[in-house]
Each structure stands twice: as structure tokens, then as C-alpha cells.
Structure 1
Amino acid sequence: MGHNKCKILITALALTIVSPLSAQGNGTAGINEATQMVTSYFEPATQLIYAIGAVVGLIGGVKVYNKFSSGDPDTSKTAASWFGACIFLIVAATILRSFFL
């Protein structure tokens, strides 16, 4: 008896999932809605990435300044890596935004 209840429950669950999908025809409306939802998150996410890049850039600037002030010979390497990281972050955000939008 428990086995039949499991089959009935699985069948009911499958019908519950399939019914709305078949009501939308070929699913184009659902795909369009999902696309609009994803693209609506890109602008805030891009702004967040730019803000994170600005904070990381400021922290990197302070670290490079401290190394430069203390006379550390590794200053140019540190400056180049922080600068490269900031440029990569900005370029990656821009490319992702242009690719998906």
C-alpha cells in the first residue's frame, strides 16, 4: 500500500510541475521572464563590482604608499599587481555586462 501512495504522490507532483509549463505553450514566456530577471540584476551587480574595485584600489594605494615610504625595494611590483587587479576588475565587469546585455 505504501508503494502505491508513493507512485500517486510522484505522479501528482509531476502533473503539478508540468501543468504550468504546458499552459505557457512552448515556454517562451517563462524564458523571456527569466531573461528579464537576470538582466535586471546586471546594473546593480556592475555598480557593486565598480565599488569593490574602488575600495580595493584605495587599499592598494595605501599599501603601495606605505611600502614606498618605508623604502621597500618591492614597491614597483606591488604597485603593478594592484593596478593590474583593478584594471582586470573593471574590464571584466564591462565585458560581462556587454556580453550579457
Structure 2
Amino acid sequence: MKKRVLFSAVLLLSMLGVFAQGNGMQGITDATNMVTSYFDPATKLIYAIGAVVGLIGGVKVYSKFSSGDPDTSKTAASWFGACIFLIVAATILRSFFL
């Protein structure tokens, strides 16, 4: 009698594991939808960060230009490059993953 109960319990537990696994397609679809739903806000956030960095860079370049610093063009190029990188990176990531 004990063997029969033990066998039934083991069989029941193994069947629950089989039913719980499924094919996983719904989980993958849900995860994909969740990740892609974050791209629009993240892209807008990166654009906003680029705008703030651009404004700060503009003020920094203006202050260097006003003081007569000979290093103005290098500073302007580095800040401009950083802003372009942020914008291009956000656009490429969005087009690559969506």
C-alpha cells in the first residue's frame, strides 16, 4: 500500500512539472513586448540628455571664446562630437532593436 501511494505521489509531481513547462512562447513574447515598450521613453531620455549636454557645452565654449582661450576649437569639437554621438547612438539602437 505504501509503495502504491509513494508511486502515485511521484507520478503526480512529475506530471505537474511536465504541465508547467509548456513551450515558453508566451513568456518570450511578453518579454519582447516589455523590452520594446521601453525604447520610446529611453530614446527621448537620451535626446534630452544630449540637449542638456549641448547647452552646457555651448556655455563652456562661449566662456572660453570670451576669455580668449586658444583651446576653444578643440573644446567645441569635443562637445559637438559628444552630442552627435548621443543622437546617433539612440537612433541606431532604436533601428537595430525595433
Higher-Rg structure is: 2
After TM superposition, the score normalised by the length of structure 1 is 0.77
Instruction: State the percentage of identical aligned residues.
Output: 83
After TM superposition, the score normalised by the length of structure 2 is 0.80
- Amino acid across the alignment from 1:88: F
Runs of 4+ in 1 over 3 A off after TM superposition: 18-21
- Amino acid across the alignment from 1:55: V
- 2:69 corresponds to which residue? 72
Cα distance, 1:73–1:21 mapped onto 2, change above 3 Å: farther
Cα distance, 1:20–1:78 mapped onto 2, change above 3 Å: farther
- 1:47 corresponds to which residue? 44
Quote the Cα distance in structure 2 between the aligned partners of 1:20 and 1:78: 62
- Aligned CA RMSD, in angstroms, stands at 1.7
Cα distance, 1:48–1:75 mapped onto 2, change above 3 Å: same
Q: 1:63 aligns with which of 44, 60, 63?
A: 60
Alignment of 1:94 onto 2:94:
no
Structure 1: 5+ residue stretches without partners: 1-14
Structure 2: 5+ residue stretches without partners: 1-13
- 1:10 corresponds to which residue? none
Deviation sequence 1:10-39 (CA, Å, 0-9, x none): xxxxx9xx67851xx210110000000000
